[in-house]
Chain A
Amino acid sequence: MQPTRDTHATLVDLLDRVLEKGLVLNADLIINVAGIPLLGVNLRAYLAGIETMLKYGIWQDWDEAQRAIAARERKQKREEEQTNAPGLEPERYLLSSLDSKIAEKYSSKEEVKI
């Protein structure tokens, strides 16, 4: 059996990896932090959409898929509202939406001196 890199068949594999994985750098150095706080809200919603499309099929049950996306977005928004003051700039927003454990880890670290 040969592995495939056919773009259509492997788009989900690619998105899973490029958007969720890869080397993670110290949060002090970067604007975006890969995986957790790095992705914009829209990208995450987009990912949710992909999963939903897979689950329901791209053309069938489209209403259901739309509803599922909307429900997820609402949930996500609620969670974000709880952890974020409104109107923050993306950079700060991203940092403040850090998983609490990670935030703790990074905040406890000494400032990087180069």
Chain B
Amino acid sequence: MEKVCCAQGEGRYVYGVSAGDKEVRLGAIGIDGSEVYTIPYGDISAIVHDCSTKPYQSTDDEMVRNWVRTHQSVLDATGEQLGVVIPLGFDTILQPRDDATSPDQVVRDWLKLDYARLREVMRKIEGKDEYAVQVSYEPGLIVKQISEQSEEIGKIKEEMATKSPGMTYMYKQKLERAVKAETEQLADEWFNDFYGRIKKHTDDIVVEKTKKLNTGKVMLLNLSCLVSREKVDSLGKELGKINNMDGFSVHFSGPWPPYSFVAKPVVTVKGE
């Protein structure tokens, strides 16, 4: 195979690290149509394309989205062809050295330095994928349930009915506070319940920050789950049960490369 060398620049954009001891050419599937290939060191390989030493930056949203999608699709393609892949974040570019070291050699030197750690990460994620799981609830429905079931709220409502219109406002506020407190308590209980039920079907789990939704629903938990392939069905079943509960909905996406489980910095061993 002919080697395309250095024509596109001295930097090496790294998509990920896979198993494999051969140089594989994956074609022009990279960002902006770049040729993607692997640089092996021993039995591991970096998935790269040649680029300039300037990071990818743009104010064009669609362009950024496309870059990100392409980054992901390269990892998908490599995963299919080479098996386990450690994903890197967008825009990780290995810097050329000042001396005469070739850019590919810079990549090999990095793989050599971090070999033990990369192997360890690979062992951890082999045969597993990441899934995003978000559970949300519909506040209206929950409030209705609470109002019907809570004794305290029932009492406030009864009292409110006997009061003059002037006093109603105060009682309304009291009612709102009581509903809020009960919702928060319930949310804690749900969180613990769902978290425990979901965790059982995962190999590792990261609790992410919840987000505000535009659907009127409230996100209760946002999880990244590392799941062995044989466990995905049982996780799906558990999530199905939660999704079928009145007032709750589950967002379940994947399989993703295990982005959330490889994030610990690779710290090069001193003195090596």
Q: Confirm or deny: A19 has a beta carbon within 8 angstroms of a beta carbon on chain B.
A: yes
Selected contact of A19 from candidates B90, B130, B211, B251, CB within 8 Å: B90
Q: 1/0 contact trace for A103-114 toward B, CB 8 Å?
A: 000000110111
Q: 1/0 contact trace for B7-40 toward A, CB 8 Å?
A: 0000100101100000000000000000000000
CA distance A19 to B26 in the complex (A): 23
Q: Once the chains bind, are A9 and B253 in contact (CB under 8 Å)?
A: yes
Selected contact of A35 from candidates B16, B89, B253, CB within 8 Å: B89
User: Hey, which bits of chain A sit against chain B, CB under 8 A?
Assistant: 1-5, 7, 9-26, 29-35, 38-43, 46, 49, 51, 53-58, 90-91, 94, 109-110, 112-114
Q: Once the chains bind, are A34 and B91 in contact (CB under 8 Å)?
A: yes
Instruction: Count B interface residues, CB 8 Å.
Output: 69
User: Hey, which bits of chain B sit against chain A, CB under 8 A?
Assistant: 11, 14, 16-17, 53-59, 61, 64-65, 68-69, 71-72, 86-95, 106, 109-110, 112-114, 121, 130-132, 208, 211-214, 224, 232, 236-237, 239-240, 243, 250-256, 259-260, 262-268, 270-272
Q: Once the chains bind, are B88 and A22 in contact (CB under 8 Å)?
A: yes
Q: Once the chains bind, are B266 and A24 in contact (CB under 8 Å)?
A: yes
Q: Which single residue of chain A is at the shortest CB-CB distance from B71?
A: A18
Selected contact of B58 from candidates A18, A23, A42, A94, CB within 8 Å: A42
Q: Once the chains bind, are A23 and B91 in contact (CB under 8 Å)?
A: no
- A31 CB contacts on chain B under 8 angstroms: 11, 53-55, 93-95
Q: Once the chains bind, are A56 and B214 in contact (CB under 8 Å)?
A: yes
Selected contact of A7 from candidates B69, B109, B130, B232, CB within 8 Å: B69
Q: Once the chains bind, are A42 and B57 in contact (CB under 8 Å)?
A: yes
CB distance from B75 to the nearest CB of A (A): 9
Q: Once the chains bind, are B253 and A5 in contact (CB under 8 Å)?
A: yes
Q: Once the chains bind, are B121 and A17 in contact (CB under 8 Å)?
A: no
- B86 CB contacts on chain A under 8 angstroms: 23
Known contacts A22-B263, A25-B266, A29-B110; decide if A17 and B256 are in contact (CB<8 Å): yes
Subset of 14 A-B contacts with CB under 8 Å: A14-B72, A17-B259, A22-B16, A22-B259, A25-B114, A31-B11, A31-B54, A31-B55, A34-B89, A51-B211, A53-B214, A56-B214, A110-B270, A110-B271
CA distance A3 to B94 in the complex (A): 34
Q: Once the chains bind, are A23 and B214 in contact (CB under 8 Å)?
A: no
Selected contact of B255 from candidates A3, A7, A94, CB within 8 Å: A3
CB distance from B15 to the nearest CB of A (A): 9
Known contacts A31-B93, A110-B270; decide if A18 and B252 are in contact (CB<8 Å): no
Which are the 8 A-B pairs with shortest beta-carbon distances? A34-B89, A22-B89, A40-B57, A1-B240, A17-B259, A21-B259, A57-B214, A114-B109
